[in-house]
Amino acid sequence: MNDHKPLSDTRERILDAAERLFMESGYEGTSMRMITGEAEVNLAAVNYHFGSKEALLREVFRRRLAWLNRERLRELDDLELNAAGEPLKPSAILEAFFGTLLHMGSDESLGGMTFLRLLGRTLTEPADFIRTFFAGEYAEVIERYKRALFRALPEVPHEEIIWRFHLMLGAMSYAIAGTDALQVVTGCELDLDNEGPNAAKQLAARVMPFLLGGLRAPLPQFPVSQEQQSQSEPTKAA
């Protein structure tokens, strides 16, 4: 039967077009006719190959997140293996988690900046099925990295670590997604020099110090949790 097929490049054409358009106009703002038009395939092709628009979006992400999350787990495994039971340095954990992400921006075969920006923007999409999907895709990776951070920052309350993880994700998403979204707000010429592969490297150099600074910031003194800590450097990472 069907064996040495070219894997019907119709599928890939649709996924590429959808990736770009979802990034540019969002899920609800992108119609099937826009997608099939850009992909130069028949309107019915999406439903034939993927079943529905929702399933198409899921596949757009699955094709990229499969690599991303596998790589994230692999790098964390490596770190923990080399640490021989010792807690990891926070900077190493962030490097593994966000470095893999930013690496995708440099590699066009992994989606490049287009996928990075799509990912950043989609995390705030309110549609239920999107949030449910992401929860499932991310569950294992988040759990592993959360635990690594708990061990790396033993004197920081778990709740505080989760919050800061959350905040780091937000900052990174904006840095990625907002290449032109918020620059209009900051009214500036900053922007990544070009869309090329070193755009992601610049991004990393810009963002990683910020994230580390936030993660290692003094804890809030606040009637919110049992322990509190007023020295200005609660952790020793990096």
Partner DNA sequence: ATATGATTTAAACGAACGTTTGAACTATAG
Partner DNA sequence: CTATAGTTCAAACGTTCGTTTAAATCATAT
Q: Which residues would be at the binding site for DNA (CB under 7 A)?
A: 1-5, 8, 10, 30-34, 41-49, 52-54
**Contact between 195 and a second copy per CB under 8 A:** no
Query: Is the distance from CB of 14 to CB of 39 less than 8 angstroms?
Result: yes
Contacted entry of a second copy, DNA, none for residue 126, CB cut-off 5 to 8 Å set by kind: a second copy
Among positions 96, 177, 200, 237, the unique one binding a second copy when judged by CB under 8 A: 177
Question: For a second copy, which is the closer residue by CB, 44 or 205?
Answer: 205
Q: Which is nearer to a second copy, 67 or 134 (CB)?
A: 134
Residue 2 binds: one of a second copy, DNA, none (C-beta under 5 to 8 A by kind): DNA
70 or 166: CB nearest a second copy:
166
Rounded least distance, CB 230 to a second copy, Å: 11
Would you count residue 69 as binding a second copy (CB under 8 A)? no
| Contact residues for a second copy, defined by CB under 8 A | 24-26, 28-29, 120-121, 123-127, 131-132, 134-135, 138-139, 142-143, 146, 159-160, 162-175, 177-178, 181-188, 190, 202, 205-220, 222, 224
